[in-house]
Structure 1
Amino acid sequence: MKEIGLIEDDNILRNAYTKYFRITQTFKVVFSVPDVADALSLNTVQPDIILLDVNLRSGSGIDGIQVLAAQFPTSKIVILSSMENAKLTRLAMENGATGYLLKSSSLAYITESLLKLDEGGIPFSPATISHVIHNNATADNRSEITELTKREVELVKLLSEGVANKIAADRLNVTYFTINQHLKNIYKKLEINSKSELIAWYLNK
């Protein structure tokens, strides 16, 4: 069972999410709070996933990503927002978010997206995936301006669309082991250490 933390300032919505995740028997809600500061006051939990709203009473949740990551280093921080904005998606990934989901997505879709994290998936709602694709229309030419090979660029493009590692292996007709090797090589070439950093790099090219 995955442990999850919720940061959402709308009490009704927060309670609804909390109730839903508890009855799924897939997630255990270890905290459900209205602001980043409330989460930071909790020193005894390290949830697997933190769902973070953007519009909070204290300001932008995106500004709190790095602070949360410092206190919860093993947690994957996923934005859950009503704001569909390409700039916010890019900024969230740059700050270290693992994904960007929209509240307009069904609860079943949100749950499925979060479960794919174990397979190397990046949680995106369809609209936020389109933001990534739109902002990277020249992706096919990236191998010419970086040290990445054409196949490595193809892999980065798939991962940026939220495709899990295993699915990427099928689409590229290679083994799961090969995908992991590609990722190691990509991280080394770009001098990064995580998939969220890779997506941030992709969003900025």
Structure 2
Amino acid sequence: MGKPYSVLVVDDHPLLRRGICQLITSDGDFTLFGEAGTGLDALTALNNSEPDIILLDLNMKGMSGLDTLNAMRQEGVTARIVILTVSDAKQDVIRLLRAGADGYLLKDTEPEILLEQLKNAMLGHRVLSKEVEDYLYELKEAADDNEWIASLTPRELQILQELAEGKSNRVISEDLHISEGTVKVHVKNLLRKANAKSRTEMAVRYLNQ
């Protein structure tokens, strides 16, 4: 491969965070973008630039992994965000994937498998630990039933309504007074939450709910 993938590690346990960082830097396909012990620190680290991958803990003091993920997507962060956690609870998996996570891995994952999964995430795949793979089917069923609409932020719902009217990104940006780039990020997140292959498919499902 060419340029190494940059990784931001977000975890509130210093020893574990340090170990993950050492693992990342041990593989020539990755470089360490930085590390953060809280969600707020992670958001601050993304002020001027962003990494290719964000490895995000779920259960952190203060700002949770879910809150951090939502804030990152709201800010327009386009990095691949992979959750790394001890929780294999179905509700956590579904909630995080609905919110826009690109993967959900458990902390007992073997180091070499973790690195391989991060590479798969950069190839555009949704990566999951085997223990939680079955929950993906329930996520797809929920998306088919339009339950995904309930997970949308107010801004995402606004954009979905505009898409359903057949408006282009440029027109939506003018209507909502936001940049066209921001609209593109929201559309990408909407497609992920809806598990839809195109904006047309997503709009039709919204109109037929």
TM-score range, shorter chain: 0.5 to 0.7
Distance 1:137 1:61, change over 3 A: closer
Match of 1:39 among 37, 42, 60: 42
User: Equivalent residue of 2:33, what SS?
Assistant: strand
Shift of 1:136: 5.7
- Determine if the alignment matches structure 1 residue 28 to structure 2 residue 31: yes
> Residue in 1 aligned with 2:64?
60
Shift of 1:73: 1.8
Counterpart Cα distance in 2 of 1:39 and 1:59: 10
Counterpart Cα distance in 1 of 2:102 and 2:41: 21
Shift of 1:70: 3.6
- What is the identity percentage for the equivalent residue pairs of Structure 1 and Structure 2? 24
> Residue in 1 aligned with 2:52?
48
Aligned partner of 2:135: which letter? H
Aligned partner of 2:70: which letter? Q
Aligned partner of 1:15: which letter? R
User: Equivalent residue of 2:133, what SS?
Assistant: helix
Shift of 1:9: 0.6
Shift of 1:14: 0.2
What is the Cα-based RMSD across aligned positions, in Å? 2.9
Shift of 1:109: 1.1
CA deviation map 1:57-95 (0-9, x unaligned): 114211211212244622111111010011111110121
Shift of 1:44: 2.9
Shift of 1:49: 0.7
Aligned partner of 1:4: which letter? V
Counterpart Cα distance in 1 of 2:73 and 2:141: 30
Structure 1: gaps (5+ residues): 147-187
- Determine if the alignment matches structure 1 residue 6 to structure 2 residue 43: no
Distance 1:11 1:72, change over 3 A: farther
Match of 1:118 among 122, 143, 149: 122
Normalised to the residue count of structure 1, the TM-score between the two structures is: 0.66
CA contact (8 A) 1:69 1:75 kept: no
- 1:124-143 to structure 2, matched below 5 A, reads 124-133=128-137
Question: How many pairs were matched up?
Answer: 157
- Determine if the alignment matches structure 1 residue 102 to structure 2 residue 106: yes
CA deviation map 1:159-205 (0-9, x unaligned): xxxxxxxxxxxxxxxxxxxxxxxxxxxxx99x9944x6555435xxx
Counterpart Cα distance in 1 of 2:11 and 2:112: 19
Normalised to the residue count of structure 2, the TM-score between the two structures is: 0.65
Shift of 1:129: 0.8
- 1:81-96 to structure 2, matched below 5 A, reads 81-96=85-100
